[in-house]
Chains A and B, each alone.
Chain A
Amino acid sequence: MSRKPITFRTEKEMPIMVVSSGTTEVNKTGSWRYLRPVYQEKDASCSGFCLSGNDVREFVTLVSKNKMKEAWHSIMKTNPFPAVSGRICPHPCKSNCNRRAVDASIRINDIEAKIGDFGISNRFTPKVKKGKMKALVMGSGPIGLSCAYHLMRLGYSATVFESGKIICGSLRTEMTKHKVKEKILDDELKALKRAGLDIKTNVRLKEIDGYDVVFVEPGETFDKIRSAKVIAGISYDTHGKFIGKNDLPKAVLPTQAIKAGRILADMIDNRLKNRRITAKKVAIVKFDMINKDYFEQMGEHKDLVKDASRCLSCGKCIKCDNCLIFCPDCCIKKTEKGYKVDYDYCKGCGICAEECPRGIISLEEEGT
């Protein structure tokens, strides 16, 4: 740090009040720091606990702005059966919703069902990619249907063969348990069919040929598979083109199965394209990272759009400027990408982390 030491020979040379002689910017107080604030968006608690792996925060936020169509497309990125799921899922998203630290959880399951119903009544069609690859799914359980749908989103044309008479068996049983009308599922299936999903019942195949990827649900039988580049669901020989039964993602509940189907579609696609992609571990905002002081208590709302507006947007910056306003050293700047901490001056007081209402700024030990 090059600066001349200040000396005065007489009082006459001195200013009347003690004032810095130049800019204080030469004093890089960042060196004092032993805790470092890190601005990093995180997953919301709801999304973290979602059995289907939905971006719950995203669709709740869209509903709060009454953007129902966008909310439908958002949830369709991960779960093609929102109307059903909202009614049968045990909704750990809602049980773990951080809003409960303020007043009450957001009625996420009801919101999900509302989105699904909106999609049904408006006869929306999900967005899929057109491609040359052909996919076959044998079995129409929730894993299979979900896998087929997500392969369509990845650019495959998908066909589902069901050996029995009824499609999505376990989903229907779960719905009966929860007294949900079967028509809801059938309406959501219609949307998938509009997008190009081909479903055939009472099909028993001995040989399979002409498909680039094949997924065989546990319980289905076949004799021979030809010309497929990737085969999933068989524990034959796990080298190369096979994704064995033991490698399939685990699922117990239907909404878990929907996630499993998506993961499987990704695994198949990665195997075909010879890619290795490891899932990134994203941190989740827990309710002790929320600053309750910034939210007004109001309780659940009958109107779901208004209820959705109680969403804290955990982990997603909404540019509230708290960190910038409260930083005592004025070393947080606003940029298009979010907020930037000037580590040259940040002393690590932690006020920004404390005052971020939605847990985006966290303190880490300096040097880790």
Chain B
Amino acid sequence: MKKVMMGNHAVSYGAALCRVQVIAAYPITPQTQIVEKLSEMCGSGFLKSNFIKVESEHSALAAVMGASAAGARAFTATSAQGLALMHEIIHWVAGARLPIVMVNVNRAMAPPWSVWTDQNDSLSQRDTGWMQIYCESNQEVIDTVILAYKIAEKVQMPCMVILDAFVLSHTSEIVDIPKQRNVDLYLPPYKPKMKLDINNPKAFGALVTPEYYMEFRYKMQKAMDKAIDVAASAHADFAKTFGRRYDVIEEYMTKDAETVIVTSGTITSTARVVIDELREKGEKIGLLKMRFFRPFPKEAVIKALTGKKKVIVLDRNISFGHHGIFFQEIKSVMYGKKDAPEISGVILGLGGRDVTPDVIKDAISEGKRNRTEDIVWIGVKK
């Protein structure tokens, strides 16, 4: 059924369709409508779920972690400062191999205080072992929540589904809500083999000496590797069940492109318009959309960018003291590869600075001009 709804509500519907059993979340702009809608759904009986009121995001993820450890499909949502507050538990959830899905609404980190979008909050968590998927439309958001549970429960690693603050979270557009029975077919109930069970008591998370710790971490890395393959089959099943095709990346007009820009999040959507315009003018330019950031879709990226002349990475984030984060990772993946392109990076859109088609065009020309390691900041008043 198609309905006009905001991104946050698309999240709520996604979680509800997955029949999440435990929800614990703490309100923070711009995520509040996700939790409001879910609690409405629980109240009306539309969603049979346990809604736990908590006093902070740290407690929210702790509650969800406990529920997941006991075998429940659990969900939470947060943003920026809230995500940062959860940090130690974020590490724990991944190490405990709990397939929790958390929606993070990308919001700039304070100070300065900001409620507008950029990616530093989610990217600060990139080393924790959580999968990360960036969405560019409300349809993609509702679909990705379902996909996230499918993949997470298969590889037993948690997954963050990410959408931009306001540009997606508070923007209403048409969403095709998947049918419940199709979701039930696609995503069966969560039945973990090992869980907290008073009839089969075990202790989890105990002290491990240097003799074995590395092996547990090695297994986490292997699970991340496996996730790329699991994602492929999850995406294929999704297309079969719901008719919409997704992949770990998306290539737009890259086949004969000489220049490729790399984007993530809603910038991708606006960039498509720019690519079309430039193509009309005869430029051989294409777009690589990064959907999966963790696990990093190495093979797909290498395949897409090998043979291209120039790659310009648009980062809506910055790792202080180094470069934009997507830029660093793309570069590292292409290092030493045969026929690797020249790669440059630009920083734009921090703190919700509007990314218009003109800004993207600016980014492209700056990126083309820049042949060094210099990071270029687009639109900074200098």
User: Which of B97, B201, B215 lies in contact with A11, CB distance below 8 A?
Assistant: B215
Q: What's the A-B contact tally at a CB cutoff of 8 Å?
A: 42
Query: Which B residues lie within 8 Å of A19 (CB)?
Result: 194, 202-204
How many B residues have CB within 8 A of the partner chain? 18
User: A1-35 vs B: 1/0 string, CB under 8 Å?
Assistant: 00000001001001111111001100000000000
User: Which of B203, B208, B219 lies in contact with A16, CB distance below 8 A?
Assistant: B219
Q: Determine if A23 and B201 form an interchain contact, defined as CB atoms under 8 angstroms apart.
A: yes
Q: Determine if B194 and A11 form an interchain contact, defined as CB atoms under 8 angstroms apart.
A: no
User: B148-167 vs A: 1/0 string, CB under 8 Å?
Assistant: 00000000100000000000
Complex: A11 Cα to B218 Cα, angstroms:
8
B205 within 8 A of A: yes
Query: Which A residues lie within 8 Å of B223 (CB)?
Result: 16
Query: Which A residues lie within 8 Å of B212 (CB)?
Result: 8, 14, 18
B206 within 8 A of A: yes
Q: Which residue of B lies closest to A21 (CB)?
A: B202
B216 within 8 A of A: yes
B84 within 8 A of A: no
Q: Determine if A20 and B203 form an interchain contact, defined as CB atoms under 8 angstroms apart.
A: yes
Report whether over half of chain A's contact residues are helix, strand or loop; otherwise say mixed. loop
Q: Which residue of B lies closest to A27 (CB)?
A: B203
User: Which of A8, A20, A23, A24 lies in contact with B215, CB distance below 8 A?
Assistant: A8
Complex: A236 Cα to B96 Cα, angstroms:
84
Q: Which residue of A lies closest to B204 (CB)?
A: A19
Query: Which A residues lie within 8 Å of B97 (CB)?
Result: 16-17
Query: Which B residues lie within 8 Å of A8 (CB)?
Result: 212, 215
User: B192-235 vs A: 1/0 string, CB under 8 Å?
Assistant: 00100000011111101000100110110001000000000000
Query: Which A residues lie within 8 Å of B218 (CB)?
Result: 11
Query: Which B residues lie within 8 Å of A17 (CB)?
Result: 95-97, 156, 194, 204-205, 216
Q: Determine if A15 and B194 form an interchain contact, defined as CB atoms under 8 angstroms apart.
A: yes
A1 to chain B, nearest CB (A): 16
A331 to chain B, nearest CB (A): 13
Q: Determine if A20 and B96 form an interchain contact, defined as CB atoms under 8 angstroms apart.
A: no
B208 to chain A, nearest CB (A): 5
Q: Determine if B219 and A20 form an interchain contact, defined as CB atoms under 8 angstroms apart.
A: no
Complex: A24 Cα to B196 Cα, angstroms:
13
Complex: A17 Cα to B155 Cα, angstroms:
12
User: Which of B194, B204, B215 lies in contact with A14, CB distance below 8 A?
Assistant: B215
Query: Which B residues lie within 8 Å of A24 (CB)?
Result: 201-203
Query: Which A residues lie within 8 Å of B203 (CB)?
Result: 19-20, 24
Q: Which residue of A lies closest to B198 (CB)?
A: A330
Complex: A14 Cα to B216 Cα, angstroms:
8
Query: Which A residues lie within 8 Å of B201 (CB)?
Result: 23-24
A362 to chain B, nearest CB (A): 29
Complex: A160 Cα to B344 Cα, angstroms:
114
12 contacts between A and B (CB under 8 A): A11-B215, A11-B219, A14-B216, A14-B219, A15-B194, A17-B95, A17-B156, A17-B204, A18-B208, A18-B216, A20-B204, A23-B201
Given contacts A17-B97, A18-B206, A24-B203, 15 further A-B contacts (CB under 8 A): A11-B215, A11-B218, A15-B194, A16-B156, A16-B216, A16-B219, A17-B156, A17-B194, A17-B204, A18-B204, A18-B212, A19-B194, A19-B203, A23-B201, A23-B202
| Chain A residues within CB distance 8 Å of chain B | 8, 11, 14-20, 23-24
Q: 4 tightest A-B contacts by CB?
A: A11-B215, A20-B203, A17-B97, A20-B202
| Chain B residues within CB distance 8 Å of chain A | 95-97, 156, 194, 201-206, 208, 212, 215-216, 218-219, 223
